[in-house]
């Protein structure tokens, strides 16, 4: 194991999900260890372009940074499959798709499956052009139901893993100090992932008693995931 791979594991939070050992990564993704499956959600490639067209100054390099982060995880963890749980793109397909296609060429040996999100406004026939498989949802190993929107139902025996919400939690320090942190939100039948993309926005959640919240303390390679009790 490389030094970077060890650092990823050390800074992650190890948890058992429906009988499977998993890592909640500080890069805001989940790695199922036994099956070598990487799960992430909500990159929203093209969102910055959308804002620039509306006259809002947003750096064009933001999505490239997200793809570099994903490439780093693929290189270090060597997953057999990568599932993106929706909203890979923000508004249909625009010229930002070329950015993704160029990145995809560098990782053409990795299977990437997109669970179509509400912002992915294109047909499944685009899968060949993008070099990915596109599905509405997916049952993984008879243990996990992968979808974009969490929903208010579940299949018996399955843990639903989804995105869409961009969950975050507000934490309080000494005095009046507060911070808003992206988080993983785990309840009895559902796990909602934080948004992987940096330019996505966050939604402060109100967990129910018994839910578990794992906050992401970002800091590049030194970031950590910690459970808030």
- CA nearest neighbour of 218 among 189, 198, 201: 198
Residue 122 confidence (pLDDT): 74
Whether residue 193 contacts residue 214, with contact meaning beta carbons closer than 8 Å, is answered with no
For 138-156, what is the mean pLDDT? 95
**pLDDT interval class at 91 (50, 70, 90):** low
Residue 13 sits in a domain whose CATH number is: 3.60.21
For 113-120, what is the mean pLDDT? 89
Residue 55 confidence (pLDDT): 45
Domain count for the chain, please give it. Answer: 1
Structural domain containing residue 162: 3-228
Q: Kindly report the CA angle at 100 between 58 and 116, in degrees rounded to 5?
A: 95
Average the pLDDT over each of 8-17, 158-167, 171-180, 210-219 and give the range with the smallest value.
171-180
Bigger pLDDT: 7 vs 226: 226
Tell me the average pLDDT of the chain.
87
* C-alpha pair distances (Å), 74 with each of 52, 70, 124: 30, 6, 24
DSSP 8-state assignment for residue 220: G
What radius of gyration, in Å, describes the C-alpha atoms of the chain? 17
55-66 residue pLDDT tens: 444 445 455 788
- CA nearest neighbour of 194 among 214, 170, 224, 220: 214
Q: Model's pTM, two decimal places?
A: 0.90
């Amino acid at each position: 194991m490389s030094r970077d791979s060890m650092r990823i594991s050390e800074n992650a939070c190890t948890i058992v999900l429906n009988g499977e050992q998993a890592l909640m990564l500080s890069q805001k993704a989940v790695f199922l260890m036994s099956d070598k499956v990487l799960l992430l959600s909500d990159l929203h490639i093209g969102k910055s372009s959308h804002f620039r067209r509306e006259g809002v100054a947003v750096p064009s390099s933001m999505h490239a940074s997200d793809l570099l982060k994903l490439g780093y995880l693929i290189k270090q963890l060597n997953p057999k499959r990568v599932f993106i749980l929706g909203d890979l793109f923000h508004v249909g397909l625009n010229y930002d798709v070329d950015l993704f296609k160029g990145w995809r060429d560098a990782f053409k040996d990795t299977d990437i499956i997109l669970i179509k999100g509400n912002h992915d406004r294109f047909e499944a026939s685009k899968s060949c052009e993008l070099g990915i498989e596109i599905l509405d949802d997916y049952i993984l190993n008879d243990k996990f139901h992968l979808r974009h929107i969490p929903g208010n139902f579940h299949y018996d025996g399955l843990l639903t893993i989804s995105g869409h919400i961009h969950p975050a939690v507000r934490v309080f320090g000494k005095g009046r100090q507060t911070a808003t942190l992206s988080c993983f939100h785990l309840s009895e039948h559902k796990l909602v992932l934080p948004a992987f993309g940096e330019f996505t926005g966050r939604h402060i959640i109100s967990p129910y008693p018994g839910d578990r919240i794992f906050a992401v303390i970002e800091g590049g390679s030194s970031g950590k995931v910690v459970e808030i009790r």
